[in-house]
């Protein structure tokens, strides 16, 4: 049966509400990616490959790019890594940031290599003070911003002695002190991060920093942990800050494939309406009233629609109690019961199918909606019917 039900696809007429306006910042550019209050919040990650393994690094950058990464960082611990930077910067489809610790000389190599930005750590760049003028001039001439990346685990010894540990005040003082060194030389193309592994401490540090500077802020809970714990810590901390308008670029740090970091970061921004929502699965937690395996159904629908890039809210409900209500608010939905699934499109039942056909029917309907609206899933979509028996 064909349907003539009008389909809104969840595309709002007005911009979706956000919790707070962005904090006003100065604007910088990391390659073509604008960073600051006038630009969308970017999501970044860091390669886990050895940078000197150019092919492996470029392959991982390609995977990150395909998953939606805006900016990628690479480590530069050895001369061979610095030597690999020109090839990586030239071939990467997204801007490459060189992560420099300990050795100021690599900063100059990274600038010459065509990297889009440099990250330095004020806690460990030895004899850095003496070369700030040189660094500021080289970065300024090349139009390359510098991220001052303070980290609770590698705080400047002077500040550790002064504060006793990596307090929010210590992190902020380290960052502003370093920024001041560059400012003395007329260089203000700066982003700042004050990462800590404790989300509460991290949030407080960024709040304090946001009060005293207008530089764009790079958010991160450092060493956040494995995928589950790290996702929770990062989501809570970023949510607290972004809901106050604080944060211009984010990096979720997980002990996991960096592609996972991009997925989590993207979802955090989507959940806060700071990025357009794409596929959204609304599924019930199930209960004693459920007449289907809701977990399996939700997972299969999610897997089957993975990669769809248009805004689509899909409700997967275990029974008819809340099913029709949720389905009415969704673009597409199912309310299950008695071995069958009622398929909803914009709140109207368009068909009833046997339980075994629910997943494939939802996926077919989703694809039909996309086609009818003239929207196509972008290149790389994995949308297909995948039913686990
Ligand atoms: S929709 Fe039905 S099965 Fe799901 S939680 Fe609500 S009452 Fe339980």
Of the two residues 66 and 125, the one the predictor is more confident about is 66
Pocket lining: 318 vs ligand 1, CB cutoff 6 Å? yes
Closest residue to atom 8 of ligand 1, CA basis: 287
Q: How far is the CA of 279 from the centre of ligand 1 (A)?
A: 22
Q: Do 204 and 131 share a structural domain? A: yes
309 shares a domain with 254: no
Same domain, 102 and 218: yes
Q: Are residues 217 and 327 in the same domain?
A: no
379 inside domain: no
How far is it, in rounded angstroms, from Cα 258 to Cα 141? Answer: 32
Least confident of 143-147, 155-159, 247-251: 155-159
Same-domain pairing of 289 and 268: no
Task: Tell me: do 290 and 314 sit in the same domain.
Answer: yes
For residue 318, what pLDDT band results from cuts at 50, 70 and 90? Answer: confident
Q: What is the pLDDT of residues 243-281, one digit of tens each?
A: 999 999 999 999 999 999 999 999 999 999 999 888 888
User: Would you list the DSSP string of 37-101?
Assistant: TTSPPEEEEE--S-TT-HHHHHHHHHHHHHTT-SEEEEE--SHHHHHHHHHHHHH-SS-EEEEE-
What is d(CA 212, CA 174) in angstroms, rounded to the nearest whole number? Answer: 13
One domain, residues 185 and 213 = yes
pLDDT for 72-89, tens place per residue? 999 999 999 999 999 999
Which one of 281, 294, 317 would you pick to mutate in the ligand 1 pocket, going by the greatest count of ligand atoms within 8 A of its CB?
317
Residue 171 lies in a domain: yes
200 lines ligand 1 (CB under 6 A): no
Is there a contact between 106 and 119 (Cβ–Cβ < 8 Å)?
no
Whether residue 316 sits in one domain with residue 237: no
Residues 107, 202 within the same domain:
yes
2 lies in a domain?
A: no
Are 200 and 243 contained in the same domain?
yes
Q: Please say which residue of 213, 241, 272 terminates a domain.
A: 272
| pTM of the shown model | 0.85
In this structure, what CATH number is given to the domain that contains residue 48? 3.20.20.20
Task: Provide the pLDDT confidence category of residue 140 given band limits of 50, 70 and 90.
Answer: very high
* Any domain includes 179: yes
Q: Is residue 195 part of a domain?
A: yes
Neighbours of 359 (CB within 10 A): 26
Tell whether 10 is covered by a domain.
no
Range of the domain at 357: 279-374
Q: How many domains does the chain have?
A: 2
- Is residue 289 within 6 Å of ligand 1 at its C-beta? yes
Q: Examine the fold and report which residue of 272, 303, 322 is the final residue of a domain before the chain moves on.
A: 272
Let me know whether 317 and 254 are in one domain. Answer: no
Highest mean pLDDT among 129-133, 234-238, 368-372: 234-238
Domain boundary (229, 248, 272) is at 272
**93 in the same domain as 51:** yes
CATH code for the domain in which residue 331 is found? 3.30.413.10
Residue 238 within any structural domain of the chain: yes
Tell me the CA–centroid distance for residue 341 and ligand 1, in Å: 14
Cα-based distances in Å from 307 to 12, 127, 242, 310, 345: 21, 48, 25, 9, 21
The finding on whether 323 has its CB within 6 A of some atom of ligand 1 is yes
| 295/59: higher pLDDT | 59
C-alpha span between 178 and 192 (Å, rounded): 10
Model pLDDT for residues 339-359, shown as the tens digit of each residue = 888 898 887 889 999 989 999
Q: Which residues are annotated as a binding site for [4Fe-4S] cluster?
A: 284, 287, 319, 326
319 lines ligand 1 (CB under 6 A): yes
Mean pLDDT of the chain: 87
For residue 131, CA distances in Å to 105, 288, 318, 357, 386 come to 10, 67, 64, 67, 58
* Residue 333: inside a domain: yes
């Amino acid at each position: 049966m064909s349907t003539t039900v009008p389909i809104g696809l969840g595309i709002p007429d007005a911009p979706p509400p956000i919790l707070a306006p962005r904090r006003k910042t100065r604007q910088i550019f990391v390659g073509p990616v604008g960073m600051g209050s006038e630009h969308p919040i970017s999501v970044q990650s860091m390669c886990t490959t050895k940078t000197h393994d150019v092919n492996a690094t470029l392959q991982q950058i390609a995977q990150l790019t395909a998953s939606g990464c805006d900016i990628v960082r690479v480590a530069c611990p050895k001369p061979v890594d610095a030597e690999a930077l020109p090839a990586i910067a030239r071939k990467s489809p997204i801007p490459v940031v060189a992560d420099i610790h300990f050795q100021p000389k690599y900063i100059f190599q990274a600038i010459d290599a065509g990297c889009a930005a440099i990250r330095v750590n004020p806690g460990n760049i030895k004899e850095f003070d003496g070369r700030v003028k040189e660094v500021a001039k080289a970065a300024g001439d090349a139009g390359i911003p510098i991220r001052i990346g303070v980290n609770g685990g590698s705080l400047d010894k002077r500040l550790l002695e002064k504060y006793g540990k990596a307090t929010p005040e210590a992190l902020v003082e380290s960052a502003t002190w370093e920024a001041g060194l560059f400012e003395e030389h007329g260089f203000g193309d700066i982003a700042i991060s004050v990462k800590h592994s404790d989300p509460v401490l991290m949030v407080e540090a960024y709040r304090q920093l946001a009060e005293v500077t207008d530089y764009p802020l790079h958010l991160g809970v450092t060493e956040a942990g494995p995928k589950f714990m790290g996702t929770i810590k990062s989501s809570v901390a970023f949510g607290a800050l972004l809901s106050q308008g604080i944060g211009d670029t984010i990096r979720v740090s997980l002990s996991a494939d960096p592609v996972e970091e991009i997925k989590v970061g993207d979802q955090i921004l989507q959940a806060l309406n700071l990025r357009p929502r794409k596929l959204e699965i609304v599924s019930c937690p199930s209960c004693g009233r459920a007449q289907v395996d809701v977990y399996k159904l939700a997972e299969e629908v999610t897997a089957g629609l993975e990669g769809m890039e248009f805004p689509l809210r899909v409700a997967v409900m275990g029974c008819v109690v809340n099913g029709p209500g949720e389905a009415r608010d969704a673009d597409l939905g199912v309310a299950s019961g008695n071995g069958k699934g009622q398929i909803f499109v914009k709140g109207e039942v368009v068909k009833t199918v046997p339980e075994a056909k629910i997943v494939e029917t939802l996926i077919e309907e989703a694809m039909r909606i996309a086609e009818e609206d003239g929207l196509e899933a972008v290149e790389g979509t994995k949308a297909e019917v995948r039913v686990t028996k």
